Structure 1
């Protein structure tokens, strides 16, 4: 074929020509197919949650590599990193006092890496920080998450402060990527390492969402009882789904760019 383009390019071209509703339908079908595949090949669905945290750590590692190799933090949202550090710190505290398992180790490693990224952006590479592009007001995220966690939190036997903290980090994690998406929306061009990082977040969110959905299916709804009663179980699942959909559009253009062999990702208006 001309230019070495094969069936993958043909399918990608066909998808690009479809109206938004068809694209949304195809995305839902693809997500369901991926869930079925994961259910077939992954026997211990708890490993999906571990994999999600591992992929998140890998994404942070990509950012560290970018900062060390290119000596620039252009395109990276400092505010997203600060929100990430905040929910990781709260989740690490809750993990230490409520469960202490492999997630505690992974959260510790990811938090340390995130703090290093924040330090590097703030002090070592401040001159390349795109302050004017990173203009998302984080109190639009933190305050609603804090209020929501006071109103809707787990109903387990743990101390009330720990339960509210747990809810806060769940809600904040779902929205912590919004400042990074705003930076990409303002610049419209995303260099490779930042694109890899955000795509890793998207994959991590999908794996985490798949973990909860498959656990719910396997337990035939009993997982909701384990999480507690009231609105909290539904909010956990809703937060996971929100995280996945927030990044799904970007992930589509990332895959499209990779299929087309483009190193730099150019986003159309209104994508993120």
Structure 2
């Protein structure tokens, strides 16, 4: 594992911890999209099916369990915790997220490295993760005023993808025959979706102002 992969994993983990910190301490999920969390749960379920068929490492297994457990915990809090669910802005979080699932599944059935159940599900998870942030970005654009923890959560998610791009570049030049077009293109699309958010995030940080997205 190279430093970019490790940094990406730790940044991804940090994003989840920031969101859990907000929910547990403030008892609020204001500005957080339940639709994005549900899509992330589907991404992790379909990507980590290999836990039942193969063992990579203790690190790999622990990270998978953490992302599965934390995502389902966030969903449970947003749906069932009395105080947290009151802060969920259901009227603004209206992106029809399940409409993203079928196109990604069809694309995975058509474009994959090997036609098998596990491989198609893994490819589906890659395609879906590329667009999973859309409900969250739409919600932030509608609410405009974004609290610090929510802003940090989205920023860390974007940083995690950017670090993975550096990881792929590093592996391309250091590992023979390392070519994964499906992962590369999907990761690049996902990172580009964060570009507008990154711009306003750094502008607010530079000017010491609260993060606001244009309507």
Common fold, TM-score beyond 0.5? yes
Q: What residue number does 2:77 align with?
A: 120
Q: Deviations over 1:35-77 (max 9, x none)?
A: xxxxxxxxx53x4223222211211111111112222211100
Q: Deviations over 1:153-212 (max 9, x none)?
A: 123xxx810110110111111111111001011111111110000000011000111111
Larger radius of gyration: 1
- Write out aligned runs for 1:1-272 (5 A): 45=2, 47-101=3-57, 102-124=59-81, 125-155=84-114, 160-219=116-175, 222-224=177-179, 233-262=180-209, 264-269=210-215
Q: In structure 2, how many angstroms separate the alpha carbons of the residues matched to 1:268 and 1:85?
A: 29
Q: In structure 2, how many angstroms separate the alpha carbons of the residues matched to 1:65 and 1:215?
A: 34
- Count of residue correspondences: 212
CA RMSD after TM alignment: 1.7
- SS at 2:94 equivalent: coil
Structure 1 residues 98 and 246: CA distance shift in structure 2, 3 A? farther
Pick 1 or 2: higher relative contact order, CA cutoff 8 A, min separation 6.
Answer: 2
Give the conservation status (yes or no) of the 8 Å contact 1:59–1:197.
Answer: yes
Structure 1: gaps of 5 or more residues: 1-43, 225-232
Shift of 1:96: 4.5
What's the TM-score, normalizing by structure 1?
Answer: 0.73
Shift of 1:248: 2.1
